[in-house]
Amino acid sequence: MKKYKTLSFDAVVIGTGAAGYNAAIRLAENNVNAAIVTEGISCGTSRNTGSDKQTYYKLGLSGSAPDSVRAMAENLFSCGAVDGDTALCEAALSVRSFMRLCELGVEFPCNRYGEYVGYKTDHDPFARATSAGPLTSKYMTEVLEKRADELKIPVLNGFLAVEILKNEDGVCGLICLEKANGGFTAINCANIILATGGPAGIYADSVYPSYHNGSTGLAVAAGVPLQNMTEWQYGLASVDPRWNVSGTYMQVLPRMISVGEDKTENEFLLNFYGDPYSALSALFLKGYQWPFDSGKVLSGSSVIDLLVYRECVIKKRRVFLDYRKNPFGIDKIDYSRLLPEAYDYLKNAEACFGTPIERLMHMNAPAAELYKNKGLDLAKEPLEIALCAQHNNGGISVDCWWQTALKGLFAAGECAGTHGITRPGGSALNSGQVGSLRAALYISAHPRAKTQNALFLQLAEGAVKRHAEFCEKLLSNRENVDLKICEAQRNMSDGAAAIRDAEIIKPLLESVTEDLKSITETTGVNAECELYKAYRLYDILLVQQAVLTAMLDFEETVGKTRGSALYRDKNGELRNGLEELFRFCPDKTAACDRIQTVSLINGQCKALWRGVRPMPDDNDFFETVWRGYRDNKNIY
């Protein structure tokens, strides 16, 4: 029997992003003995992503425009396929969570009178958005990490969670793999908060950090339902380094070229639009209409996403943004021939001059410096891009305390499925803070007893034995795990990302299911320190199986296109100049009052549908609330 270590905590948080650190802090401040488990402290999405102006979404805190918790909740709820109770929680606790970050040191700007002035973001009828700059989530993570260090919260760094242990009462422990040596640690705990981010590893074309994989498969393997796994956000992003090319990256009008194996360049936007100024206007709009939106395909800027996909996936060419000279051989752009909103914007920015890199340095120099600091000088070389997965709106199904169907298991941050078909920009950062707070409050108010030690050791020993046998088989096979991961990711990006076709998805699902069944026969690693890669592959395949099941069921059950994906429909509409693959039937309200769930049952993923949970009634009476608060803090 392989030796293993044992530890014991009341609660374990998995993940060291903004949601994970906040969960651990809130637990510790409520006297819960908690620890953090992480693959790597510095590896999460929160710490390593951003945009030209990374947004945080919260209740309006400036000016005279009326705003309220209910108004914000209704806006979140109206995004479609959203539960009303979680939407209300995210609105109600947004100010508390935001102000906490301000007090911890995140430099959100306020005016001289203390108002946190906002701006409008996508899907935002109010000016609720704010930002601390391109690296808002990084700053959040850093101040939260500092607070966790002050509280001396234990961090198990370099530990990959590989199995949630459960019994008839719910969660009872966690099995972890120590990445450096392949050893196992069993943790006796009554509560687990998953704060593992989105399932980034399932795609090759991804703007998630390359070292962030996600661990949604932990919940899938535990039999916990996922929801809205068809709902993703895709957009144009650079391949290396991985970064969204939104905002000014597009508004300065760079050349967009594709390059084939013969090294010939093609400014393919002109081939599609015919008129250079129509192409430039669409390129400008792509800056602030950044995410792929199926509603902007037939007559909008999202057709550019499809053109990039066509070049990369169908034609097998590479696509680049070139900031060194103006598009289409135009020496001096006649800005007055652009769409009025593009011309007015560039004119007001005093940027109607020069080359794209000169305009970028004038309008947003930090955006250019960001790439230079990552080793790529936009003034000297082009930037490779692709249509990439950026965010999963779906995730693990949770209730209004962010608890899953498995008692004692919670999910917060991007791995929790509280968003719907669309979401306001920056709402994910708010959701992560609110969800982690709600989970910690519930755990502290409803303590669960840990499993008696002898029983726990019996469970742990059986689990470790299974994992040891799994590892022995992998070590006996020829090393190929990196290749298997790359193949799985490439197949998913090519066949089941923003463009979806049942004729492609069905055989892909069959292939993924077979790969899961045969993983110990077909996958090999050459050292114990690389066993974690095989677990990463297993997680990727498990989540791919769930996502592909969701996509196939959605196409069969709903069959319409909504949100950030295009479902091929042979009887649908097609924009002139596009291939039949891009024919679809748009319906932005399709199934918006229902939520699709996916669960692993006897080795097979099954999809079901339920109605959204309604918005809670607005009929609270102060004395009634006060009495309940004195009794149990209204945590039930």
Q: Using CA atoms, how far apart are residues 323 and 164, in angstroms rounded to an integer?
A: 49
Nearest CA-CA partner of 75 in 128, 29, 117: 128
- pLDDT value at residue 44: 86
**Half-sphere exposure for 374 (CA within 13 Å, toward CB):** 16
Mean pLDDT of 396-424: 98
| Amino acid 431: pLDDT | 98
CA 301 and chain centroid, separation: 23
Question: What's the average model confidence in pLDDT over 148-156?
Answer: 99
Q: How do residues 541-576 score in pLDDT, each as one tens digit?
A: 999 999 999 999 999 999 999 999 999 999 999 999
> Distance between CA 167 and CA 190 in Å, rounded?
11
Q: What is the pLDDT of residues 438-458, one digit of tens each?
A: 999 999 999 999 999 999 999
Q: What is the pLDDT of residue 616?
A: 96
| pLDDT tens readout for residues 312-347 | 999 999 999 999 999 999 999 999 999 999 999 999
pLDDT in tens, 356-386: 999 999 999 988 999 999 999 999 999 999 9
Q: What is the pLDDT, as a whole number, of residue 275?
A: 97
How confident is the model over 283-302, as pLDDT tens digits? 999 998 889 999 999 999 99
pLDDT reading at 51 higher than 80: no
- C-alpha distance from residue 353 to each of 275, 330, 358, 552, 554 (Å): 20, 12, 8, 49, 48
Instruction: Give the count of beta carbons closer than 10 Å to the beta carbon of residue 307.
Output: 24
How far, in Å, CA of 595 to CA of 509, rounded? 21
Q: What is the pLDDT of residues 478-491, one digit of tens each?
A: 999 999 999 999 99
SS3 305: helix
Q: Using pLDDT thresholds of 50, 70 and 90, give the confidence band for residue 619.
A: confident
Mean pLDDT on 12-24: 99
pLDDT at 130 over 90: yes
Q: Which two tokens stand for residue 107?
A: 């430099």
606 touches 598 (CB < 8 A): yes
Q: What angle do CA 342, 60, 77 make, to 5 degrees?
A: 85
The answer to whether the beta carbons of residues 191 and 12 sit under 8 Å apart is: yes
Which one, of 353, 356, 337, 350, lies nearest residue 287 by Cα? 356
pTM, entire model: 0.96
Neighbours of 362 (CB within 10 A): 15
Query: Which of 31-35, 592-596, 615-619 shows the lowest mean pLDDT across its residues?
Result: 615-619
Cβ atoms 80, 592 nearer than 8 A: yes
Binning pLDDT at 50, 70 and 90, where does residue 1 land?
Answer: low
The number of beta carbons lying within 10 Å of the beta carbon of residue 122 is 17
Q: What percent of the chain has pLDDT over 70?
A: 100
Average pLDDT for residues 470-485, to the nearest whole number? 98
Mean pLDDT of the chain: 97
Cα angle for residues 170, 176, 177 (degrees, 5° grid): 155
608 φψ region: left (φ > 0), alpha (ψ -120 to 50), beta (else): beta
* High-pLDDT (> 90) share of the chain, %: 94
Joined tokens for residue 345: 């914007």
More confident residue, 123 or 191: 191
Contact predicate 384/319, CB 8 Å: yes
Local confidence band at 157 (pLDDT 50, 70, 90 cut-offs) = very high
Structure tokens at 464: 């470790």
In tens, the pLDDT along 230-281 reads 999 999 999 999 999 998 999 999 999 999 999 999 999 999 999 999 999 9
Distances (CA, A) of 503 to 232, 409, 555, 570, 602: 20, 36, 11, 12, 25
Q: What is 241-275 written as a DSSP string? A: TTEE--THHHHT--EEEEE-TT--EE-HHHHHHSS
Confidence of residue 409 (pLDDT cuts 50, 70, 90): very high
